[in-house]
Structure 1
Amino acid sequence: MSIEAVIFDIGNVLIEWQPERYYDRVIGENRRRAIFDTVDLHAMNDRVDRGENFRDVIYETADQHPEIRDDIRQWHDNWIEMASPAIDHSVRLMRALQGKGVPVFALTNFGVESFAYAQTKYDFLSEFDRAYVSGHMKVIKPDADIYAQLEADCGIAPERLLFTDDRIDNTNAADARGWKTHLFEGPQGWADRLVFEGLLSREDAV
């Protein structure tokens, strides 16, 4: 059965998302480990991804831990440095698919304000045929509802969707709904899958 739309996750698929790497660089690994052991910053970020205000959530969390307030605030103030750089080969694949007339969607755990900010830095984030952003949808992957909302909106049968994500819990949730999936472990493997599915030629997928 032919694919009617290809769906990209964004973090670690189109843009590197490595907060730990950022903190290791600016404050050192030992201090970063101590901070992350004290405060679940990824759970904090999940609140943003569910639609709470980007700055408010991070600054509120920082104020609860005055001894590391400035470190936590960096999650907001220097966020774009954590969400970088772009994964250029993946961006080329996205544009190659669209050049062949294949609709490309995003399905991403991303805050409302942080996604809008990222769009000012990465032009390709404004090029999706449809962008399903968790902050607007008020639910994050791998909750089944986010996949159901996408299906209801686009009207494409699950078995005609091809989805790539770097987290296996997210691809497993899509598998359970009948989507075709690819666990993203690097752009070359994704390129090979797109060629295998007949969506791109080898030349297109470079």
Structure 2
Amino acid sequence: MTPQAVVFDIGNVLIEWQPERFYDSVIGSERRKAMFAAVDLHGMNDKVDTGHHFTETVYGTAEDYPEWRDEIRMWHDHWIEMASPVIDHSVRLMSALQTKGVPVFSLTNFGIQSYDFAATHYPFLRAFDRDYISGHMGVIKPDARIFEMLEQSCGIPPAYLLFTDDRPDNIAAAQARGWQVHLFEGPQGWAERLVSAGLLTQEEAA
């Protein structure tokens, strides 16, 4: 069945999100590994993604680990450098879908303040037909509730939603609710899926 809307994850689908890569380039891999072993930075980020204040959460964590204070603050102060670069082909696919009249939604684990900041650098983040941002919703993927909230909000039956995400656990959660899904491993594969779904031509997906 032809999807009635396409749902994009953002991190590693539209924008590369590789904090470890950033830290490796700044403090070296050995020191980065030691810090990530000592501090649950991804857990810290999950708090931001569920609606905790970006600056307060990162800076508060930095104060809890004074030996890593400067490095932890980089998660905030150099955030755009971590959330980069843009995956240009994915952004083109988003635009091509909308040009064809296909609604495009976001469904992303993202903080309130960090999303607003990112949107000042990446204007396409304001171009979705509907935004589903975990920080505003108070729940993160892969919790089934975030998928249910999107369904209830948009009114489109699950079987008519096509969702892409780079994380298998998020894909499995959406699939369990009856969504059409695509595990994102690169924009070319996603382009091919959109063509096979009948949403874009080969030329439009290039």
Q: Per the shorter chain, which TM-score range? A: over 0.9
Deviations 1:186-205 (A, max 9, x none): 00000000000010000000
Output the CA distance in 1 between the equivalents of 2:109 and 2:6: 17
- What TM-score do you get using the length of structure 1 for normalisation? 0.99
Number of the residue aligned with 1:76:
76
Task: Tell me the distance in 2 between the aligned counterparts of 1:75 and 1:177.
Answer: 34
Tell me what 1:50 maps to. Answer: 50
1:6-48 Cα shifts (integer Å, max 9, x gaps): 0000000000001000000011111000000000100100000
- Write the letter of the residue equivalent to 1:71: E
Q: After TM superposition, what 4+ stretches of structure 1 lie above 2 angstroms from structure 2?
A: none
Residue 142 of structure 1 aligns to a residue whose secondary structure is coil
TM-score by length of 2: 0.99
Query: Number of residues paired by the alignment?
Result: 206
- Segments of 5+ residues of structure 2 without an aligned counterpart are none
Q: Is 1:170 matched with 2:170?
A: yes
SS in 1 for 2:70: helix
Q: Does 1:23 align with 2:23?
A: yes
- SS of 1:118's partner is helix
Give the superposition deviation at 1:156: 0.2
Q: Which AA in structure 1 matches 2:30?
A: N
Show the counterpart of 1:86: 86
**C-alpha displacement at 1:2, in angstroms?**
1.9
Identity of aligned residues (%): 67
1:118 & 1:64 partners in 2: Cα distance? 26
| 1:96-120 deviation line (CA, Å, top 9, x unaligned) | 0000000000000000000000000
Letter in 2 for 1:173: A
Report the residue type matching 1:181 in the other structure: V
What is the alpha-carbon distance in structure 1 between the residues aligned to residue 41 and residue 11 of structure 2? 16
Map residues 61-140 of structure 1 onto 2, 5 A cutoff.
Answer: 61-140=61-140
Q: Which amino acid aligns with 1:62?
A: A
1:144-163 alignment runs, 5 A limit: 144-163=144-163
Partner amino acid for 2:40? D
Question: Runs of 5+ in structure 1 lacking a partner?
Answer: none
